[in-house]
Amino acid sequence: MKLEGNVWKYGDNIDTDVIIPARYLNTTDAKTLAAHCMEDIDQVFAKEVKPGDVIVGGRNFGCGSSREHAPISIKGAGVSCIIAESFARIFFRNAINIGLPILESPEAAQDAQKGDPMTVDLAAGTITNQRTGKVYHASPYSPVVLAIIQAGGLVPYARNILGITS
Amino acid sequence: MGKTLAEKIIAAHAEETSEVSAGDLVTVKTDVVMANDVTAAIAIESFRAMGVGEVFSSERIMLVPSHFTPNKDIKSAEQARTLTLFTEEQALSHRFQVGRSGIEHVVLPERGLVLPGDLVVGGDSHTCTYGAVGAFATGMGSTDIAFAMATGKTWLKVPETMKFVYHGERQPWVYGKDLILRTIGEITVDGALYRSMEFTGPVIAQLPMSERLTMTNMVIEAGGKCGFMPFDETTKTYVDARANRPYTPYFADEDATYVSVHEFDVTGMEPQVACPYSPDNVHPISQIKPEKIDQVFIGSCTNGRFEDFAIVADILQKTGREFDPNVRVMIIPGSQAVYLNILREGWIELFTIAGAAVSTSTCGPCLGGHMGILAGEEACVSTSNRNFRGRMGHRDARVFLANPAVATASAIMGRLAHPDEL
Ligand code: SF4
């Protein structure tokens, strides 16, 4: 699958409290959450993000709480994937589980600038920065993570392994 | 080859193998699966979407409303109601209703529901707290929790382990909170990313359970997957008074493999404070500008236990002082059991006369939920675990994380203060 969009660039240790502040956690609705995504560090993001856009973060992206609302709000905003130098553990699992593509590539993340057009080939694990023409290889997924991605998230994965068809 | 605590407990729960090492991917059985009002709401939706009718065990699933409860608004009420209905529908044996429970990370250890050697997954990042009693406990998101509720299993990567050894003599007013803040300050917020943290050494051996729980609580603030306190007489006394089922203590091998060993000499160490906007922006209190504050929050799953409020009561009784009238002081016990105990000690009267607002148990202001939200220009000293931007209210509000003694001294002085200044 090929993803295409422009970069929204953020720094290190972007925590789940800034991705989606706790004051909005009394709902699970993706659209409502998306409307407040990133608002404490970037008031334009939720208004101007375009379907397909890519979030690029530094180290430890998604640190802090276990709220699945964080990747849900990002996915709800139309973001096609997140690229970062590294991800916080719970956020990584949550994103994979809900089917939000997430790629670790320190070089791609460091080189990217706000607005850069990016192409991501998920099957090949490659990231292309169209401004510079540079191609990067993301860290490969572990077998379980790959199986969850291929199933389309943890819910369909669970249904498959439990043999639930109804 | 020696094994770490994480390796031993994961191996004991692994499906297809009896020995694991850091880096292995394994499917494990879970002993306890927990979620709160924020995470259970989505977990229940995902559980339904998986098409499974019944949870794997009605005794081992704990749904604890804590964040926006007592329900702060209609949406929160609807959300909390999904937990109540699910608890009834699945006939879960442990019920955690407002007025009878509190914050999950205070309530579960306090009732002996998480025990040494358990493998616990919780829909809350501070699930790592239970490592203080010797459980492998880690936070996950809602869909992972739904999977565990359905199957009694989860997948894990066996973490590498970092060892933290504390020597020396603790000064007065220095607690487990200060040790963990200092540690996070040193290794930073991603210093233990994906890793297990084992705490040990003569200083740890002397810590009461309450302070051990404070330390493992903040493992996630260094990015850690789980943390452990050694099982000793202190653990045994605490657990035996509470456990209703057998448990297995584990001990790390002498020759276990650690990715790093960090030694701390605590002699001469001052109380530590994490300044805005990160739990690793840690400085000794004497090196921080004694800035004026608007609010003090004493509570949370980090420092909301009986012993924490004993510190507050002791300072008020010894000094005969009241809180600064310009400071809003929120005192919120971590559980209703703690509430009752401090009530019986006469401390609710003491705190109220000193000028505090004492409330029923809730996470409340810790996550900027309710019961003490901060305005943009305001500063707050809090005994909780996070001071990210927007965490306790307005994005510009400034939160200083400290131990209960520093919080009390600051509440009395109206500014960041060392308890010795009183
Ligand atoms: S007290 Fe704060 S950190 Fe602890 S569970 Fe509640 S919101 Fe989370």
Contact present, A2 and A77 (Cβ < 8 Å): no
Contact B368 A23 (CB under 8 A): yes
Ligand 1 centre distance from Cα of residue B364 (Å): 8
Burial (CB < 10 A; 0-12, 13-18, 19+), residue B44, is buried
pLDDT digits (tens, 9 = 90+) for B115-167: 999 999 999 999 999 999 999 999 999 999 999 999 999 999 999 999 999 99
CA distances from B150 to B113, B147, B250 (A): 20, 5, 28
* Residue A12, C-beta contacts closer than 8 angstroms, at least 6 positions apart: A57, A58, A59, A60, A85
Q: Nearest by CB to A26, which of B50, B73, B189?
A: B73
* Residue B243, C-beta contacts closer than 8 angstroms, at least 6 positions apart: B112, B115
What is the DSSP track for B50-61?
Answer: TT--S-S-SSSE
* Residue B383, C-beta contacts closer than 8 angstroms, at least 6 positions apart: B177, B297, B298, B299, B300, B302, B303, B304, B308, B401, B402, B403, B404, B407
Which atom of ligand 1 approaches the CA of B367 most closely?
7
Alpha-carbon distance of B106 to A142, in angstroms, equals: 35
Closest CA to ligand 1's atom 2 = B366
Chain B residue closest to A24 (CA)? Answer: B369
Chain A CB within 8 Å of residue B125 CB: yes
Alpha-carbon distance of A85 to A78, in angstroms, equals: 21
Whether the predicted pLDDT of B1 surpasses 90: no
What is the DSSP track for B258-274?
Answer: -SEEEEEE-TTPPPEEE
CA distances from B255 to B20, B204, B252, B337 (A): 15, 20, 8, 41
Contact B223 A89 (CB under 8 A): yes
Contact present, B271 and B393 (Cβ < 8 Å): no
Alpha-carbon distance of B86 to B94, in angstroms, equals: 12
3-class DSSP assignment, residue B44: helix
pLDDT at residue number B23: 93
Helix axes B306-319 and B404-413, enclosed angle (nearest 10): 40
Which atom of ligand 1 approaches the CA of B366 most closely?
2
Alpha-carbon distance of B422 to B418, in angstroms, equals: 8
pLDDT at residue number B304: 98
Q: Distance, in angstroms, between A48 CA and closest chain B CA?
A: 20
Convert A54-79 to b/e letters by CB count within 10 Å (16 or more is b): bbbbbbbbbbbbbbbbbbbbbbbbeb
H helical segments located in chain A: 16-19, 30-34, 45-48, 69-76, 89-98, 106-111, 143-151, 154-162
* Residue B136, C-beta contacts closer than 8 angstroms, at least 6 positions apart: B5, B6, B9, B10, B13, B118, B119, B120, B226, B228
Cα dihedral B68/B70/B75/B77 (nearest 10): 130
pLDDT band at residue A151 using 50, 70 and 90 as cut-offs: very high
| Residue contacts between A and B (CB atoms, under 8 Å) | 142
- Across residues A113-119, what is the average pLDDT? 98
Chain B residue closest to A25 (CA)? Answer: B38
3-class DSSP assignment, residue B197: strand
Tokens of B178: 């200060």
- Which of B131, B177, B167, B166 shows the shortest CA–CA distance to B311? B177
Interface mutation target, options A66, A139, A166, chain B, most CBs of B under 10 Å? A66
State the pairing for strand pair A102-104/B260-265: unpaired
Mutate to test the pocket of ligand 1, among B96, B213, B362, B384 (most ligand atoms within 8 A of CB): B384
Contact A67 B51 (CB under 8 A): no
- Across residues B164-177, what is the average pLDDT? 98
CA B132 to chain centre: 10
Convert B201-213 to b/e letters by CB count within 10 Å (16 or more is b): bebbeebebbbbb
Interface mutation target, options B69, B142, B197, chain A, most CBs of A under 10 Å? B142
Chain B CB within 8 Å of residue A26 CB: yes
pLDDT at residue number B114: 98
What order do you get walking across the sheet with A102-104 strand by strand? Answer: A102-104, A81-84, A54-57, A2-9, A117-121, A126-129, A134-137
pLDDT band at residue A1 using 50, 70 and 90 as cut-offs: confident
State the pairing for strand pair B161-167/B119-123: unpaired
Q: What residue ranges line ligand 1, CB within 6 angstroms? A: B 66-67, 103, 105, 124, 126, 300-301, 363, 366-367, 384-385
**Percent of chain A residues past pLDDT 70, beyond the cut:** 100
Chain A CB within 8 Å of residue B51 CB: yes
Alpha-carbon distance of A89 to B224, in angstroms, equals: 8
Return residues 237-266 of B near A (CB < 8 Å): none
Bridge partners (DSSP) of residue B33 are B61, B121
Whether the predicted pLDDT of B16 surpasses 90: no
ipTM: 0.94
pLDDT digits (tens, 9 = 90+) for A123-149: 899 999 999 999 999 999 999 999 999
Ligand 1 centre distance from Cα of residue B301 (Å): 6
Look at the block and give the residue holding tokens 């306090």. B110
Chain B CB within 8 Å of residue A89 CB: yes
Whether the predicted pLDDT of B255 surpasses 90: yes
pLDDT digits (tens, 9 = 90+) for B331-345: 999 999 999 999 999
Which atom of ligand 1 approaches the CA of A22 most closely?
7
Angle in degrees, CA B397, B400, B406, rounded to 5: 140
Tokens of B134: 């010797």
pLDDT band at residue B324 using 50, 70 and 90 as cut-offs: very high
Give the number of C-alpha atoms closer than 13 A to the C-alpha of residue B170, restricted to the C-beta side: 18
Whether the predicted pLDDT of A61 surpasses 80: yes
Burial (CB < 10 A; 0-12, 13-18, 19+), residue A92, is buried
State the pairing for strand pair B282-284/B272-274: antiparallel
Mutate to test the pocket of ligand 1, among B128, B300, B386 (most ligand atoms within 8 A of CB): B300
pLDDT band at residue B258 using 50, 70 and 90 as cut-offs: very high
Q: Nearest by CB to A144, which of B150, B155, B388?
A: B155
